[in-house]
């Protein structure tokens, strides 16, 4: 695996890759890798000639400085894991390499940024849009792989690709879960053992709501049941539970056609904010 910290060295290498007619698959991450990330790499490995992974804890997408300070950073362990799944290139730039001056460009993702993660983390999607645009320009991938766990992020990036004509295919990959149902997330490693034991309640609440909707309950009834369920776990503070269309991410008042209903949840567990969703 080749490792680059500098944009110019990455650019020179990938220019040669493209000139040799090889396709590039790209997996952007913030590191502290787990099996969910490795699954994205494996899918890129199957679909493309050259697999590029970036690890960059992007400060512009953190609205909470404590969250940024706590974010796990495990670069050497991550690099070792990336080697095991056949990654060709690791790009791990510094903050000054990516932002030599503070960025002034601002995105407006319309209705997407006023709901759920957009409402709870003001400025978050602007930072995601900024860094993902920069990374797409630097890597110029044929295919880019993102996890369904961050469903709203996928919708934001779909908007970015469409509105800015990025010539790439966006691929949404299924959420990888722990054996007890908890969606894998880098932030899980910040949970205390007690919190970790309680964390699967989030997915249990989602499953409860999904079953209710499939059983003809209304979204309002299902959302109320989730709030009640999590009340039984005092360590959890529910941020939101929403029934939305899986593409537009806008609220729905009834079940959508198969594969187009999503239930999205976010909750605080101690100091850690967890999100999850199911699409059905």
Ligand X SMILES: Nc1ncnc2c1ncn2[C@@H]1O[C@H](COP(=O)(O)OP(=O)(O)OP(=O)(O)O)[C@@H](O)[C@H]1O
Ligand Y SMILES: CC(C)(CO)[C@@H](O)C(=O)[O-]
Annotated binding site for (R)-pantoate: 61, 153
Stretch that binds ligand Y, among 27-35, 106-114, 168-176, 192-200 (CB under 6 A): 27-35
For the CB of residue 265, give the shortest distance to ligand Y in the complex, in Å.
Answer: 17
Enumerate the known binding-site residues for beta-alanine: 61
Q: How far apart are CA 121 and CA 21, in angstroms?
A: 41
Q: How far apart are CA 174 and CA 106, in angstroms?
A: 30
11 an active-site residue?
no
Give me the count of residues in the chain: 280
Enumerate the known binding-site residues for ATP: 30-37, 147-150, 176, 184-187
54 binds ligand BAL (CB under 6 A): no
For residue 145, give the 3-state DSSP assignment.
strand
For the CB of residue 228, give the shortest distance to ligand Y in the complex, in Å.
Answer: 31
150 binds ligand BAL (CB under 6 A): yes
x/- contact string, 259-278, with ligand X (CB under 6 A)?
A: --------------------
C-alpha torsion 138→139→140→141, nearest 10: -160
144: closest CA among 135, 152, 106? Answer: 135
Q: In this chain, which of 44, 51, 52, 132 binds ligand Y, going by CB under 6 A?
A: 132
Percent composition of the chain: helix, strand, coil (DSSP 3-state, to 5): 45, 20, 35
148 binds ligand BAL (CB under 6 A): no
For the CB of residue 146, give the shortest distance to ligand BAL in the complex, in Å.
Answer: 9
Q: Is 266 exposed, middle or buried (0-12, 13-18, 19+ CB in 10 A)?
A: buried
Which one of ligand Y, ligand X, ligand BAL, none interacts with residue 256, CB within 5 to 8 A by kind?
A: none
Tokens (6 digits) for 76: 């050497």
130: closest CA among 173, 101, 151? Answer: 101
- In the set 13, 37, 124, 137, the catalytic residue is 37
**Residue number, 14 or 274, with CB nearest to ligand BAL:** 274
| Number of residue whose CB is nearest ligand X | 147
CB-based contact 49:22 (threshold 8 Å): yes
List, by residue number, the catalytic residues: 37
- Which positions lie near ligand Y, rule CB under 6 A? 28-30, 58, 61, 128, 131-132, 150, 153
- Which positions lie near ligand BAL, rule CB under 6 A? 61, 150, 153
């Amino acid at each position: 695996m080749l490792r680059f910290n500098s944009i110019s060295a990455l650019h020179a290498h990938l220019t040669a890759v493209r000139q040799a007619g090889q396709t590039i698959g790209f997996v952007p991450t913030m590191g502290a890798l787990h099996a969910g990330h490795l699954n994205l790499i494996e899918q890129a490995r199957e679909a493309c000639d050259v697999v590029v992974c970036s690890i960059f804890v992007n400060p512009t997408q953190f609205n909470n400085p404590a969250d940024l300070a706590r974010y796990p950073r495990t670069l050497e362990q991550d690099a070792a894991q990336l080697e095991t799944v056949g990654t060709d290139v690791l790009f791990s730039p510094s903050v000054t390499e990516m932002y030599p001056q503070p960025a002034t460009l601002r995105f407006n993702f319309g209705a997407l940024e006023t709901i759920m993660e957009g409402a709870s983390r003001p400025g978050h999607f602007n930072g995601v849009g900024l860094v993902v645009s920069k990374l797409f320009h630097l890597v110029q991938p044929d295919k880019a792989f993102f996890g369904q766990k961050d469903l709203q992020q996928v919708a934001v990036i779909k908007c970015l690709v469409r509105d800015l004509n990025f010539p790439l295919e966006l691929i949404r990959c299924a959420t990888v879960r722990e054996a007890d149902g908890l969606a894998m997330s880098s932030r899980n490693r910040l949970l205390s053992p007690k919190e970790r034991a309680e964390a699967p309640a989030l997915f249990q609440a989602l499953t409860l709501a999904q079953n209710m909707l499939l059983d003809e309950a209304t979204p309002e009834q299902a959302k109320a049941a989730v709030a009640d369920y999590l009340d039984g776990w005092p360590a959890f503070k529910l941020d939101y539970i929403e029934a939305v269309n899986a593409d537009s991410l806008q609220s729905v008042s009834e079940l959508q056609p198969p594969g187009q209903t999503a239930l999205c949840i976010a909750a605080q567990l101690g100091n850690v904010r967890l999100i999850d969703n199911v699409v059905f």
